[in-house]
Amino acid sequence: MLRTLAATVSLLCLMTSSLVQADDRDYRRGEYKEKFRSGGCEVEREQKRDGEYKEERKCKGGPRGYEQKQKYREGPCLIEREWKRDGEFEEKIECKRW
């Protein structure tokens, strides 16, 4: 039983290390890019060395029937959001250091 438990733990460790390596992040000298899915959304993030930050989010399966666009500033960030009649949603965030 103890050998089976040890083999299971070893197998789980190997599986999680391969998942970590398969991640799409690229960290270099304070910069990174990553792409991932969150629910029905595809998210792309990018951080640059000079402090500039960008995020783009595209979602499907939201509420249907209306269109709306928003564009506003929140601190050093410019935020643009768009809802479409078919339930798609897009959001873009761009931040710059002051």
- Per-residue pLDDT reduced to its tens digit, 51-91: 899 999 999 988 788 899 999 999 999 999 999 999 899 99
Would you state the pLDDT for residue 83?
A: 93
Return d(Cα 97, Cα 53) in angstroms, integer: 9
Q: Is residue 38 part of a domain?
A: yes
31 part of a folded domain: yes
Flag whether 88 is in a domain. yes
Q: Answer yes or no: is pLDDT of 14 > 60.
A: no
- For the chain, how many structural domains are there in total? 1
Residue 21 within a domain: no
Q: Which residues pair with 5 in a beta bridge?
A: none
19 in a structural domain? no
Per the structure block, which two tokens stand in for 54? 């960008």
pLDDT digits (tens, 9 = 90+) for 24-33: 555 556 788 9
Return the pLDDT at 61: 84
**CB within 8 Å of 7: residues ≥ 6 apart:** none
Partners of 15 in the beta sheet?
Answer: none
Tell me the β-bridge partners of 49.
none
pLDDT of residue 64: 83
**Residue 6 covered by a domain:** no
Show the domain range for 58: 27-95
92 closest CA partner among 68, 60, 56? 56
> Does 49 map to a domain?
yes
Q: Where is pLDDT greater, at 16 or 25?
A: 25
User: Residue 25: phi, psi to the nearest 5?
Assistant: -90, 150
Whether residue 50 is contained in a domain is answered as: yes
